[in-house]
Amino acid sequence: MAEYFCDMHIHVGGTLSGKPVKITASRSMTLTRILEEASERKGMDMIGIIDAHSPEVQEELRGLIQRGEAEEHPMGGVMYKQTMLILGCEVEIKEEGRGEAHFLCYLPDLEKMSMLTGWLAQRCKNVTLSSQRIRTHLRELQNVMAEWDGVIVPAHIFTPHKGLYGSCTDSLAEVADPALIPAVELGLSANTEMADRLQELHDKTFLTNSDAHSLANIGREYQRMAMKDRSFAEWRLALERKEGRGVRINYGLHPQLGKYHQTACQSCQSLLPADPEGRCPQCGFKRVVRGVSSRIEQLADAPPGIHPPFRPPYVEQVPLEFIPGVGPKLKEKLYQHFGTEMSILHRTSFDELAHVTGERVAELIVQAREGRLAMKAGGAGTYGKIIASPRDKA
C-alpha cells in the first residue's frame, strides 16, 4: 500500500477557446495548465477537476489522450505525467423551502461524464459553466450517480454560502440518503475537531480540498491517502475505508485563516459575537455573515475531543502564499531549488530553506509546519492572516 497527496476540488477557469467555465476562477486555469501545475509544481499525486462536465473541457482532455500526453486508467481516471486526474462536476441544488447547497459528483471515465453532461443539460440553464443550479432533488441525483458508479461528496459543508449545513439543513438525513454519502468536504474554515462535534458525521470520511480558483491555490488543502494504486476504483475504496485504504492525514488550512471562520460584518469586516442582533454595532451595516464556528456550536451534539477510531490526524497547513515575505519571485526560486511545494512544506530543512529565503522566511515556514504561528481569524469572505513575529520561537 502506497500513500499519495490528493487535492480533489479544483476549478477550471476557462477553455482553450477562451470561454469561461468557473466564472470566478482565473482564465489561465485551463485543464492542461492545471494538470501541468499539479504535476510539475505542486507535487500532487491525484487531483479532482470538478468542471469535467463542460463539453470543451472534455474536448481538451480527449485531445491530450489522442496525442498520447494522457492515458485513461482501466480502473477509472486519467494519468498525466506524475498526476492522476479524477473527473468531477460541482452542482447546486435548492430543495424546496431551504437554501442552496453545492455537491461534488465524481465519475470513473469520460464516457460516463459525458452521460452526466447530457443529463445536466436537461436540468440547468448553461451546462458549459461550473456550479450550475440543477432542477432536481438531491436524492434523485444520488440515484443517478449510484447507477453510473459515481460518488457524491457534499462540498464545503459548513460555509454560510452554499454549504450543506451552512445554508441548507440541520441534518444530512433530512435531504439525502446518508448511506450513499461516503465522505464530506470540510471547507477552509473548519477542521476535524470542529466537524466531529456532529455525531451524524462520525461515520464519514473527511476530505480537505483546496477549492482552487487559481493555479497558486492548488494544494492549499489536501490529504494523504493510502491506496494500492492511483485510480478511481482505489480512491473510492479509500473514501469507503475498505481493504486497508483510507485517508491517513488531512492537511487543512488553519481554520482561522478561512474566509468564514468567525461571524463578521460584510462591510467593515469587524469580528462579532456568535449571534449578533440587528445591524453591525461597529458600522451599522445590516449584512452580518454567520461564521462556521458559530454554526457548528449551534448544531453540535457531541462533546469536543470525541472522534471515531479511524479518524486520521488533522495537520493545520499554511500554504506558501500565506507566509509573509513569500511572493511570486521567491516562490519560483523555491521551486527551482526544491522542486514541488510538497517538498518545500514537508521535507526541506530549515538550513536548506534559509540558504534560499533567508532566516526570517525560513523560520516562518518551519513555524507553520510545526503549528506555531498565531492567526487573526477570517470572516465574511475575508481570509485570516498570520500575525506571529518572525523571531518568536516556542
Question: For residue 115, what pLDDT is reported?
Answer: 98
Coil, strand, or helix at residue 362? Answer: helix
Question: For residue 317, what pLDDT is reported?
Answer: 76
Asked whether the beta carbons of 94 and 137 are under 8 A apart, the reply is no
Task: Give the pTM.
Answer: 0.87
CA 11 to centroid of chain Cα atoms: 10
**What span, in angstroms and rounded, lies between the C-alpha atoms of 173 and 278?**
32
CA 190 to centroid of chain Cα atoms: 12
Is the pLDDT assigned to residue 369 strictly greater than 50?
Answer: yes
DSSP labels, 144-180? HHHHTT-EEEE-STT-TTT-IIIII-S-GGGTS-GGG
Count, residues in the chain: 394
Question: For residue 271, what pLDDT is reported?
Answer: 64
Is the pLDDT assigned to residue 359 strictly greater than 80?
Answer: yes
Give 27-37 pLDDT, tens digit per residue. 999 999 999 99
Q: What average pLDDT score do residues 346-361 get? A: 90
Is the pLDDT assigned to residue 117 strictly greater than 80?
Answer: yes
Q: What average pLDDT score do residues 70-76 get? A: 98
Q: What average pLDDT score do residues 128-157 get? A: 97
Q: What average pLDDT score do residues 281-309 get? A: 81
Is the pLDDT assigned to residue 147 strictly greater than 50?
Answer: yes
Instruction: Tell me 255's DSSP state.
Output: G
**What average pLDDT does the structure give for the chain?**
89
For residue 264, what pLDDT band results from cuts at 50, 70 and 90? low
- Cell digits of residue 306: 470525541
Question: For residue 392, what pLDDT is reported?
Answer: 45
For residue 226, what pLDDT band results from cuts at 50, 70 and 90? very high
- Distances in Å between the Cα of 257 and the Cα atoms of 318, 358, 377, 387 are 9, 25, 6, 11
For residue 394, what pLDDT band results from cuts at 50, 70 and 90? very low
**What span, in angstroms and rounded, lies between the C-alpha atoms of 346 and 48?**
22
For residue 368, what pLDDT band results from cuts at 50, 70 and 90? confident
Helix (H) or strand (E) holding 32: helix 31-36
Is the pLDDT assigned to residue 391 strictly greater than 80?
Answer: no
Question: For residue 383, what pLDDT is reported?
Answer: 74
**All domains of the chain in start order, with CATH:** 2-256 (3.20.20.140)
Is the pLDDT assigned to residue 209 strictly greater than 80?
Answer: yes
Give 275-292 pLDDT, tens digit per residue. 555 666 667 655 667 778
Sequence-distant (≥ 6) Cβ neighbours of residue 274 within 8 angstroms: 263, 290, 291, 293, 294, 297
Is the pLDDT assigned to residue 393 strictly greater than 50?
Answer: no
Burial class, 229, CB count within 10 angstroms (exposed 0-12 / middle 13-18 / buried 19+): middle
Question: For residue 307, what pLDDT is reported?
Answer: 97
Asked whether the beta carbons of 256 and 376 are under 8 A apart, the reply is yes
Is the pLDDT assigned to residue 377 strictly greater than 90?
Answer: no
More confident residue, 1 or 268: 1
